[in-house]
Structure 1
Amino acid sequence: MNFEHIILVYIIPVLAWLTIISVTLRLLVKKQSSSATLSWLMLIYLVPIVGVLAYFIFGEVKLGTKRAKAFRTLHPKYHDWLTHLSQQSALVSIPKSLQYRPLFDLNYQRLGIPCIKGNELHILDTPESIIQHIIKDIEQAQYSINMVFYIWSNKGLVEKVSQALLDAKQRGVEIRILLDSVGSRPFLKSKACRDLRKQGIDIVETLYVNLFRMFFSRIDLRQHRKIIVIDNQISYTGSMNMVDPAFFKQESNVGNWVDVMVRVNGAVSAVLNCLHTWDWEIETGMELPLFLPNCPLVPIDDYDTHSVQVIATGPAFPDDLAPQSLALAIYAARESIVITSPYFVPSHSIAEALRIAALRGVEVSIILPKKNDSLMVSWASRTFFDDLLAAGVKIYEFKAGLLHTKSVLIDNKLALVGTMNMDLRSFFLNFEVALAVEDLAFANEVSILHESYIANSDRLDSEKWLARPFYHRIIERLFFLFSPLL
């Protein structure tokens, strides 16, 4: 028996099984949902080579040694700034005056980000209004414009944004744009990007991806935040990437993407600016100035403090903060819950919280796109429909495009709007941001927005749904089994 035969027959199989056993033991002791553990085990034992390779690449939330070290090194500095902000009594909302105090307390205790009062907020719900307001604010910028986006596509209306940025740069405004490597790859390689850089606009690619890096950090971590901060005072966040829907993913045959952005004028803009500055320093090593915000803009009374809590999540941020915040909001509901999300594959705990809310008499409505650009999500999300419909949850399918808005409205009083989808990827893998807003006027704007979505939706009929073909149920379960692996 030659040496090559010994390697082929004995050594390779032994090493393969030792690897499988090691991964199995890691899965059994790892802190994660049982569904994720079972999904990985099934994949590894059904197709061992593919399963083990997939686990090494996607199974661990590895931020990367350099990035993780930078995060740990910079954390004390930014935590100190947030602590200083928390001591500004004129800016920080008094927890006892807030009806949804547990949600705000949770994020303050885990993130160190205080709830900020006295902000003016408005919903912008058409591409034209969003871009027009952004351009107008860029034209008024005096010293800084900081941006973070997942996708930037310099077509249609976005060309006007680029021109406004060039004009601002010529006035001496410092402009720093942070773009995700995967989401913005076509733009980052484009002539339009090179031209902006030549004119002195700083554009930085974050979470860079290549085959070599996949062995040192997870390659599908995404910078999914959408943030604009102008002069530390005016800010935007929401679901819309820097794209013109008329020119974006038209080949998907789902219609134009339907999004919102929240325009904020107030002290909480400084917190969003802090997130941009933190991300920028991690990526570039360059320290940017951080300033405390001005006094509250909007008059405050005991009835309405116009309070905003920034919820920042992602790898290296506190674990489970997104689902914990969402669960707290759902359990706080007494009258109504309305949720919009393009991708609805929540954890079992969130799905159960919604079901329980409906069973205790809360009117629960979920608005989803009728057509989705993700085949897997489209099928996997339906797994929850049987139990939710049986509990009395109203499910609406939006038919006027791909509804991309991510929002939650509780009792027409508490609104959560931002970049988080209702899925495990947003909960655990993406860098996300959301605003939790206890402001009556803003909640009314969100309520009107939801009513317009429902008017353009078909409500799912429970009886017809239960009568769907049996093979549909099989496909739903098969796709759902692998949803924790995303």
Structure 2
Amino acid sequence: MNPHMVSTVVLVVHWVVIVILSIRVVMRRPPVGVAMAWLVVVFSVPFAGAAVYLLFGEKRLGRSRAVRIQSGVPRLTRWQASLGAQAVTVPLPIGPPGEPLRRHAERLQGFPALPGNETLLLSDFESVFDHMIRDIGAAEQTVHLCFYIWEEKGRTGEIVDALTRAAQRGVQCRAIADALGSKTFLKGLQAGRLRRAGVDLRAAWPTGLARALATRTDLRNHRKIAVIDGRVAYTGSQNLVDPRFFKQKAGVGEWVDAMVRIKGPAAASLDGVFLFDWSVETGATFEPPTVWTASGSAMPGGSVVQVVPSGPDLQAESIHQVLLKAIYGAECELVMTTPYFVPDDALLTALTTAALCGVAVTLIIPARNDSLLVRHASAAHFDDLMSAGVRIALFNGGLLHTKSLTIDGAVSVFGSVNLDMRSFWLDSEISLLVYDRDFTGRLRDLQERYLRDSERLDPDVWNSRPSRRRFVDNACRLLGPLL
């Protein structure tokens, strides 16, 4: 075969691949920005672009995982309906943002808003570890943990000690750690110690070359959940890491996180999310917690809390819709914190519209980020936001990892979700909607603490940055749908 014929065959194959994958992208109907970004990759990088798309361009759950999810969803739905006996059935007494948001979230994911929860906002890792270790130490029946990142150093060893003691006294201890985020831990000494003590430790979304052919390898379980005896639960942004040791070489300072401790009916909702994940990872039948015994008694006058899980195993776009509904429902003020801000057009439009309508919109993000691409892609949106009146604050006290949104001082969105496409569409996430002015006030105070350690971005100074920086920011913005 002469060189001319070889080049012709290669060219023909190249265009056949492009046409087939283009049709595939169009027919799968991803968000327009995502579709266009993938088409650019496929067209511009011969063969390699096609390979990258086949590995990362589709939500391939794997056949066996998809079957386990489909078999568990009907039982999950029936259990969610059984929570209705405890649900809020009257309009929430907190003004316009709450009631439409509650109805929307329940229709999307099925979890009702449950009253009577005692909520404790924990704003530093020491208090998170102190409370969690104490609650595990008092466990009588079950301890359930699900975390994206679990590392051995620092105070995480105390969590291992507490779990080991709990398992040895007969408490059923089950834990899920993401196979990629906790890769080193799952192969380490502490994981072996847990297993020997009787803790059932599993890897979420296992990876490997063979699995990559059937499953998209960057679909991850990004949730942070701990539930003790079905009555006390934790969630938020804190992984099982000690920030004094975690990613110290990244040059961004210590990670700054927050968690909420919940005692009451909403703990059972979080336990249900964990047990559904457990059934998917282990193949066990989904057995939801008992509504009345596992949830505990409601606290009179406590917070109304609604759990919103999201991810490729459930309704992936649910948290995206919930956030848009929350933003459009604001009348006076929106304050949000996130480590990774790479909005799509819908979210960007919602934020600028709110600001132009007179809502005081504040975005607090880290001054230094551990992802260079995210840093530039995020910066590309600052011009539009500040032009609309959004206040942007750069946090200087480390890598601000808390994910929070407060609306009109009445409603909070709090959990593991970043304001980027990965959290919206790909990763398994957990969020809480808290309809309570007292809790929202405490979260708002924490946001103010972050603001005091931040520098407000000056629009005039920002607009005078070098042209080469503008170009890099805008070029990275094009990759935003893929980040």
Which TM bucket (shorter chain)?
A: over 0.9
CA 1:316–1:289 in structure 2 vs 1: closer, same or farther (change >3 Å)?
Answer: closer
Deviations 1:404-454 (A, max 9, x none): 000000011100110000000000000000000001211111011001000
2:394 is matched with which residue?
Answer: 397
Pair 1:365 & 2:366 matched: no
Shift of 1:107: 1.9
1:420 is matched with which residue?
Answer: 417
SS of equivalent residue, structure 1 residue 183 = coil
Counterpart code for 2:92 = S
Query: TM-score, length-normalised on structure 1?
Result: 0.95
2:189 is matched with which residue?
Answer: 191
Shift of 1:384: 1.1
1:286-297 matches, cutoff 5 A: 286-287=284-285, 288=287, 290-293=289-292, 294=295, 296-297=297-298
SS of equivalent residue, structure 2 residue 336 = strand
Pair 1:309 & 2:306 matched: yes
Deviations 1:305-364 (A, max 9, x none): 621111110003224211110011011111100000000001111111111111111111
2:64 is matched with which residue?
Answer: 66
For 1:6 and 1:446, locate their aligned partners in 2 and report how far apart those are by CA, in whole Å. Answer: 67
Pair 1:255 & 2:250 matched: no
1:228-307 matches, cutoff 5 A: 228-287=226-285, 288=287, 290-293=289-292, 294=295, 296-300=297-301, 306-307=303-304
Deviations 1:362-393 (A, max 9, x none): 11100000000000000100111001111111
For 2:280 and 2:380, locate their aligned partners in 1 and report how far apart those are by CA, in whole Å. Answer: 39
Shift of 1:216: 1.0
Shift of 1:296: 4.5
1:148 is matched with which residue?
Answer: 146
Deviations 1:174-230 (A, max 9, x none): 100001000000000101111111111110011011122222111100000000000
SS of equivalent residue, structure 1 residue 232 = coil
Shift of 1:5: 6.9
Q: Over aligned residue pairs, what C-alpha RMSD do you find? A: 1.5
Determine if contact 2:79/2:288 at 8 Å carries over to the other structure.
Answer: no
SS of equivalent residue, structure 2 residue 174 = strand
2:55 is matched with which residue?
Answer: 57
Q: 1:75 aligns with which of 73, 76, 79?
A: 73
SS of equivalent residue, structure 2 residue 91 = helix
1:160 is matched with which residue?
Answer: 158
Deviations 1:135-194 (A, max 9, x none): 111111111000100000121111111111111112211100001000000000101111
CA 1:9–1:466 in structure 2 vs 1: closer, same or farther (change >3 Å)?
Answer: closer
Determine if contact 2:113/2:304 at 8 Å carries over to the other structure.
Answer: yes
1:483 is matched with which residue?
Answer: 480
1:216 is matched with which residue?
Answer: 214
Deviations 1:37-91 (A, max 9, x none): 22222222221211111110111111111111110011111111111112x1xx2
Determine if contact 1:122/1:445 at 8 Å carries over to the other structure.
Answer: no
For 1:389 and 1:161, locate their aligned partners in 2 and report how far apart those are by CA, in whole Å. Answer: 43
For 2:190 and 2:316, locate their aligned partners in 1 and report how far apart those are by CA, in whole Å. Answer: 38
Determine if contact 1:142/1:173 at 8 Å carries over to the other structure.
Answer: yes
Shift of 1:295: 5.7
Determine if contact 2:223/2:416 at 8 Å carries over to the other structure.
Answer: yes
SS of equivalent residue, structure 1 residue 117 = strand
For 2:251 and 2:25, locate their aligned partners in 1 and report how far apart those are by CA, in whole Å. Answer: 39
1:121 is matched with which residue?
Answer: 119
Q: 2:335 aligns with which of 338, 353, 373?
A: 338
2:201 is matched with which residue?
Answer: 203
2:82 is matched with which residue?
Answer: 84
2:372 is matched with which residue?
Answer: 375
For 2:288 and 2:24, locate their aligned partners in 1 and report how far apart those are by CA, in whole Å. Answer: 42
SS of equivalent residue, structure 1 residue 478 = helix
For 1:316 and 1:158, locate their aligned partners in 2 and report how far apart those are by CA, in whole Å. Answer: 29
Determine if contact 2:76/2:288 at 8 Å carries over to the other structure.
Answer: no
SS of equivalent residue, structure 2 residue 47 = helix
Query: Mean Cα displacement is larger for which, 34-43 or 73-82?
Result: 34-43
Query: Mean Cα displacement is larger for which, 383-392 or 8-17?
Result: 8-17
Determine if contact 1:95/1:105 at 8 Å carries over to the other structure.
Answer: no
CA 1:76–1:451 in structure 2 vs 1: closer, same or farther (change >3 Å)?
Answer: same
Size of the aligned set, in residue pairs, is: 477
Counterpart code for 1:141 = A
Query: Mean Cα displacement is larger for which, 276-285 or 416-425?
Result: 276-285
For 1:369 and 1:162, locate their aligned partners in 2 and report how far apart those are by CA, in whole Å. Answer: 31
Unaligned runs of 5+ in 2: none
Counterpart code for 1:447 = R
Determine if contact 1:340/1:408 at 8 Å carries over to the other structure.
Answer: yes
Shift of 1:34: 2.3
For 1:253 and 1:12, locate their aligned partners in 2 and report how far apart those are by CA, in whole Å. Answer: 45
SS of equivalent residue, structure 1 residue 437 = strand
SS of equivalent residue, structure 1 residue 96 = coil
For 1:313 and 1:256, locate their aligned partners in 2 and report how far apart those are by CA, in whole Å. Answer: 28
SS of equivalent residue, structure 1 residue 97 = coil
Determine if contact 1:117/1:296 at 8 Å carries over to the other structure.
Answer: no
Counterpart code for 1:391 = A
Pair 1:457 & 2:457 matched: no
Q: 1:103 aligns with which of 90, 101, 104?
A: 101
Query: Mean Cα displacement is larger for which, 44-53 or 91-100?
Result: 91-100
Counterpart code for 2:440 = A
SS of equivalent residue, structure 1 residue 326 = helix
CA 1:296–1:439 in structure 2 vs 1: closer, same or farther (change >3 Å)?
Answer: farther
For 2:470 and 2:72, locate their aligned partners in 1 and report how far apart those are by CA, in whole Å. Answer: 48
SS of equivalent residue, structure 1 residue 465 = helix
Pair 1:35 & 2:30 matched: no
Pair 1:93 & 2:92 matched: no
Determine if contact 2:122/2:258 at 8 Å carries over to the other structure.
Answer: yes
